[in-house]
Amino acid sequence: LYARPLQDVLEEHGFQPHVFTIPAGEASKSFACFQQIIDWLVQQKAEQKEAIIALGGGVVGDLAGFVAACYQRGVPLVQAPTTLLAQVDSAIGGKTGINHALGKNLIGAFYQAKLIYADPAFLLTLPERVYREGWAEIIKYAMILDAELFGILEEQVGSLLARDAGLLSAIIARCMRMKMDIVQCDERDGGLRNILNYGHTFGHALEAVTEYGTWLHGEAVAIGMEVAARIAVASGLLSQEDAKRQRTLLQAFGLPVQCAGVNIDAVIQAMQRDKKVRAGNTRWVLVTGIGHADVYSTIDAGIAREAIAAVCTPGGQGASQ
């Protein structure tokens, strides 16, 4: 949809762009696809000073970013995210990577883009489900860092779902700024940056056990935030009321807070392979109130299992919402 217009602009300015297209979906974040792109670059005789532009959603950004990190030990990278989720989250901060059969983003690199070009106009053509999943990451920012933003989201659900351009631009810029501030303090996930993984410990595991085919990333994160909120409540860290406000807001944006037909043991096992595991302990990002988060590595395994069981309803459907 946007490749041709971008090529035209680049050609007008004297560049010679070449296009490699990948199939939509998480399945493209594979070794096979990574290798295909490298082969293509070698055949094109792409040189070390030539840039890779990742035009697309999070999958394109992660995959093309990892290619840029590795081809000839690194070529310049431009992120041009076309989804809400990529604009507010995945295109920022230099995390790139591909998936392993046993875990998401297990192979990758920290590699910063030279430029991030996030145009809200891209969002007007997004399919509804893909648009909505982006709000999971925005609600995440609000929950972990920005109580004021949480209030705005509660008030403006209608305009935001109607893709009001002005409001959208302001919120995207606010989220990008939050993420950039955190990444500048802690590029390599040593401390502060970990709180951005709120909802992701369970979310990544859910995606892995459903083989990246059932849930969109943002949907899995929404369910993961519900799990985390239940753990926080059961651990005496979060009020029932704040947990309920989160649940209500997620649902207002059409996001799931439950999943059916998932094997709980398989999910717990998948969490053990998470990159944040230390000495076998699953580390949970939990909120202690709207706008405040921290990392907890000594959460009672029984409490975690109960929270997961409460969210994973029986039944074989697994489909969204």
**Interacting residues with a second copy (CB under 8 A):** 31, 35, 38-39, 42-43, 45, 47-49, 69-74, 95-97, 100, 102-103, 105-110, 188-189, 272-273, 275-279
User: Can you read off the two tokens belonging to residue 5?
Assistant: 């217009």
Nearer to a second copy, 132 or 193 (CB): 193
Nearer to a second copy, 200 or 276 (CB): 276
**Whose CA is closest to 153, among 184, 185, 175?**
175
Burial class (CB in 10 A: 0-12, 13-18, 19+), 130: middle
Phi-psi region of 14 (alpha: psi -120 to 50; beta: other; left: phi over 0): left
* CA–CA distance, 274 with 123 (Å, rounded to integer): 31
Q: How far is the CB of 84 from a second copy (least distance, A)?
A: 24
Q: How far is the CB of 281 from a second copy (least distance, A)?
A: 10
Nearer to a second copy, 35 or 159 (CB): 35
Largest CA distance in the chain: 61
**Whose CA is closest to 82, among 131, 34, 128, 129?**
131
Q: How far is the CB of 70 from a second copy (least distance, A)?
A: 5
Q: How far is the CB of 39 from a second copy (least distance, A)?
A: 8
Burial 71-110 (b: 16+ CB within 10 A, else e): beeebebbbbbbbbbbbbbbbbbbbbbbbeeebbbeebee
Nearer to a second copy, 98 or 228 (CB): 98
Nearer to a second copy, 4 or 45 (CB): 45
Q: How far is the CB of 66 from a second copy (least distance, A)?
A: 8
Nearer to a second copy, 248 or 272 (CB): 272
Q: How far is the CB of 219 from a second copy (least distance, A)?
A: 24
> How many CB atoms neighbour CB 224 within 10 A?
28
* CA–CA distance, 286 with 35 (Å, rounded to integer): 38
SS3 293: strand
* CA–CA distance, 194 with 144 (Å, rounded to integer): 11
Q: How far is the CB of 103 from a second copy (least distance, A)?
A: 7
Q: Where are the alpha helices (DSSP H) in 108-239?
A: 128-145, 147-161, 165-185, 200-209, 217-234
Nearest-10 Cα torsion for 186, 191, 196, 198? 180
> How many CB atoms neighbour CB 244 within 10 A?
12
Nearer to a second copy, 253 or 296 (CB): 296
Q: How far is the CB of 188 from a second copy (least distance, A)?
A: 7
Q: How far is the CB of 280 from a second copy (least distance, A)?
A: 8
